[in-house]
Structure 1
Amino acid sequence: MYRALNFNAGPAALPEEVLKEAEKSLLNFGNTGMGIMELSHRSKEYQAVHDQAITRLRRLLAIPDDFEVLFIQGGASLQFSMVPMNLLGKDQAAHYVLSGSWSEKALKEADKIGETVISASSKDQKYSFIPKYSQDEIPDNAAYLHITSNNTIYGTQWQSFPSNKKTPVVADMSSDILSRPLKVDQFDLIYAGAQKNLGPSGVTVVIIRKELLKRSSEMLPVMLNYNTFANNNSLYNTPPTLSIYLLSLVLQWAEQIGGLEQIEKANEMKAKMLYDVIDESEGFYIGHAHKNSRSRMNVTFNLQSEDLSREFQKQAKEAGFVGLGGHRSIGGCRASIYNAVPEHHVEKLAAFMKAFKNNN
């Protein structure tokens, strides 16, 4: 069967093995006579799927016991609001590091809830690098420090994370969770929309230190309170059952191919292929991100003119490549090379880029 050369930023490519396994369950899951999406979320069959997804995530990421794993709907965009609603106290300020459009949106929502502070920003440099911030300037009573670990639009990524923190660290990891080993206990809350590396759209994973759950006010709407999900194993209402099933299959696939260490090596190799083409093109391809901030998930670049960029995308589409246009807010080109994008697809893109340069 034909499979597109899929470089979409999200929803993104899923492992072919996962899709084939899921296909078997669409009509008859576990001899129930029902498809996986038809099962009651209160059934023992679905309960096993749900619990297995949590177990696999805990195992892959080595999540400590003092953290809860929650499945929430609404995407990372809802977390922009839920984080300050649950964690931002009356006489506190939430600190944000601005490294791209998604951190801007997170800040905008927090501004509606309480006091915020911009601890660092690279906006004046078109978000071409991860800004440095001073931990000494964050007061002891700060509610939390919010970062976005990978910036899909601008192609930048944190290479290392805050340490020796005085305040809780919250990270939006929607676009690079599961792409490399992670010390979960460096953070206090991690959230991630699934549609990049974890699975399909429809479910958002929240990993939260149990101690932080005490901050959530009982006056919050029930579906905006983290305790609702923590106290009910994320089954207070009907969860996105199909998305969670597929997420569990993706986690199983990640374990089978060697876990996060092996995935990191593959991601490094794929990113190097494309960055080498950019760096060796003598200015034909112009990378957006500074080299010390480059993302392994989203390779962003421009060509020497808009006309050339349009021609590149036109010919790429004719050659079978999908999703190489830059985000509508900044234009240019972008190749999203998440975990499930096969290495040979990236090899084909690198070869196409070299050929296009030689012909133009």
Structure 2
Amino acid sequence: MKKHNFSAGPCILPQQVMQKASEAVIELDGIGLSLIEISHRSKEFVSIIENARALALELLGLQDKGYSALFLQGGASMQFLHVAYNLLETKAGYINTGTWSLKSIKEARLFGEVVEVASSQEQNFNHIPKNYTVPGDLDFLHVTSNNTIYGTQIKDFPEVNVPLVCDMSSDIFSRQLDFSKFDLIYAGAQKNMGPAGTTLVVIKDEILGKVSRKIPSMLNYQVHIAKDSMFNTPPVFAVYVSMLTLQWLKDLGGIAAIEEVNEKKANLIYSEIDLNPLFHGIANKEDRSIMNATFNLTDDTLKETFDTMCKDAGISGLNGHRSVGGYRASMYNALPLESVGVLVDIMSELERKA
């Protein structure tokens, strides 16, 4: 039985994507070779990565707007360093909304002054900071759109006169935004786009080349742009699966179509959390993520019963992060609405039994 996969990442992917990817590992499109044994310089793979890059820009509405799309390695964690190396000359601003913000701030401080413009750390990151002022002398402002661990999500992005950088690792392609507001977006593939192993970086070309330091080739965005994301051997399988997932999303109707489904999933589980006296939400209501619903039991003595019910129903990956505890239902694009329904039914059943 296929389980209901609520894992925070690596996470669920569309079944047709998994099927086609598994076939390609044996043989890619009838060429007599496996996807993972062809040259990354072959016409077959060059076509794959070009298509993946084009699909990313198309879905974000950024084609022909001066942006480049890259598939790089090292995960979003490498981008914490990468961003600062390429953009931080004197001073950068960061909105601190969780663990990943803290990690990115740590890396940026290696290159210059970092201003923590706003933070929700004192409340264990259970909300998104508001009513803050962004200094006008920053090299860039960095935000994290969705906080997987704490279940919060930025609904309104700041209007700024400096380059806006966003870590969208856990909610990219999940909701409609004016993506042209962002000068640089990065996202690890393994939450909403593909398997672990590659990171999508979308950059407005004009913000590059303005720092005085010399940048090593592997960390230089301009080098990767000039080489069409092929400066070194790319993660062939991860890029291929990301391409398939992006095509799946396009065929569904793009971000607008998947946003409708994502909102239905989020509304279903949050309604149960709010109405069921046995559960309470962890994140502030106005900042709740549509990707990661964090919640806990009001009575810990019910934990063993609830966990057993979830296991028997084939629910996987529901445990909360160790820094928060409780439960976390990650509802990425490929998670069916039916899976959320199964979880909600169990929560309701627990209330009837209690």
Q: Same fold (TM over 0.5)?
A: yes
Q: Which range is displaced more, 341-350 or 306-315?
A: 306-315
For the Cα contact (< 8 Å) 1:168–1:188, is it kept in 2? yes
Matches within 5 A, 1:295-314: 295-314=289-308
What is the DSSP-based 3-state SS (H/G/I as helix, E as strand, rest coil) of the residue aligned with 1:113? coil
Quickly say closer, same or farther: Cα 1:110–1:133, change in 2 above 3 A.
farther
Match of 1:293? 287
Tell me the alpha carbon deviations over residues 103-125 of structure 1, each in whole angstroms, 9 at most, x when there is no partner: 11111111222210111111111
Deviation of the 1:216 alpha carbon: 5.1
Q: Which amino acid aligns with 1:178?
A: F
Q: Which amino acid aligns with 2:257?
A: Q
For the Cα contact (< 8 Å) 1:302–1:309, is it kept in 2? no
Match of 2:78? 78
Quickly say closer, same or farther: Cα 1:109–1:308, change in 2 above 3 A.
farther
For the Cα contact (< 8 Å) 1:216–1:225, is it kept in 2? no
Q: Which amino acid aligns with 2:260?
A: K
Q: Which amino acid aligns with 1:114?
A: G
Match of 2:111? 113
Match of 2:348? 354
Matches within 5 A, 1:207-286: 207-215=202-210, 219-282=214-277, 284-286=278-280
Quickly say closer, same or farther: Cα 1:81–1:235, change in 2 above 3 A.
same
Q: What's the C-alpha RMSD, in Å, of the aligned pairs? A: 1.4
For the Cα contact (< 8 Å) 1:180–1:263, is it kept in 2? yes
For the Cα contact (< 8 Å) 2:166–2:184, is it kept in 1? yes
What is the DSSP-based 3-state SS (H/G/I as helix, E as strand, rest coil) of the residue aligned with 1:302? strand
Deviation of the 1:264 alpha carbon: 0.4
Deviation of the 1:324 alpha carbon: 0.5
CA distance in 1, matches of 2:302, 2:121: 27
CA distance in 1, matches of 2:24, 2:170: 27
Deviation of the 1:341 alpha carbon: 0.3
For the Cα contact (< 8 Å) 1:61–1:184, is it kept in 2? yes
Q: Which amino acid aligns with 1:273?
A: L
What TM-score does the superposition give when structure 2 sets the normalisation length? 0.96
Q: Which range is displaced more, 301-310 or 330-339?
A: 301-310
CA distance in 2, matches of 1:307, 1:47: 56
Match of 1:192 among 187, 190, 205: 187
CA distance in 2, matches of 1:95, 1:358: 49
CA distance in 2, matches of 1:276, 1:155: 15
Deviation of the 1:352 alpha carbon: 0.9
What is the DSSP-based 3-state SS (H/G/I as helix, E as strand, rest coil) of the residue aligned with 1:56? helix
What is the DSSP-based 3-state SS (H/G/I as helix, E as strand, rest coil) of the residue aligned with 1:195? helix
Match of 1:159? 155
Deviation of the 1:215 alpha carbon: 2.5
Deviation of the 1:157 alpha carbon: 0.4
For the Cα contact (< 8 Å) 1:86–1:217, is it kept in 2? no
Tell me the alpha carbon deviations over residues 209-232 of structure 1, each in whole angstroms, 9 at most, x when there is no partner: 101121355622211111121110
Unaligned residue ranges in structure 2 (runs of 5+): none
Q: Taking every aligned residue pair, what percent have the same amino acid on both sides?
A: 44
What is the DSSP-based 3-state SS (H/G/I as helix, E as strand, rest coil) of the residue aligned with 1:112? coil
For the Cα contact (< 8 Å) 2:54–2:69, is it kept in 1? no
Tell me the alpha carbon deviations over residues 220-260 of structure 1, each in whole angstroms, 9 at most, x when there is no partner: 22111111211100101100011111001001110111111
Match of 1:88? 88
What TM-score does the superposition give when structure 1 sets the normalisation length? 0.95
Match of 1:343? 337
Quickly say closer, same or farther: Cα 1:354–1:85, change in 2 above 3 A.
same
Deviation of the 1:93 alpha carbon: 1.3
CA distance in 2, matches of 1:169, 1:113: 18
Moved over 4 A (4+): none
For the Cα contact (< 8 Å) 2:309–2:346, is it kept in 1? no
Deviation of the 1:55 alpha carbon: 1.3
Quickly say closer, same or farther: Cα 1:234–1:217, change in 2 above 3 A.
farther
What is the DSSP-based 3-state SS (H/G/I as helix, E as strand, rest coil) of the residue aligned with 2:222? helix
Tell me the alpha carbon deviations over residues 153-197 of structure 1, each in whole angstroms, 9 at most, x when there is no partner: 00000112122x111111000000000122121011100001111
Tell me if 1:330 matches 2:324. yes
CA distance in 1, matches of 2:213, 2:224: 13
For the Cα contact (< 8 Å) 1:229–1:235, is it kept in 2? yes
For the Cα contact (< 8 Å) 1:313–1:325, is it kept in 2? no
Tell me the alpha carbon deviations over residues 16-64 of structure 1, each in whole angstroms, 9 at most, x when there is no partner: 0111122221211122211111110100111111111111111111114
CA distance in 2, matches of 1:76, 1:101: 13
Matches within 5 A, 1:140-159: 140-159=136-155
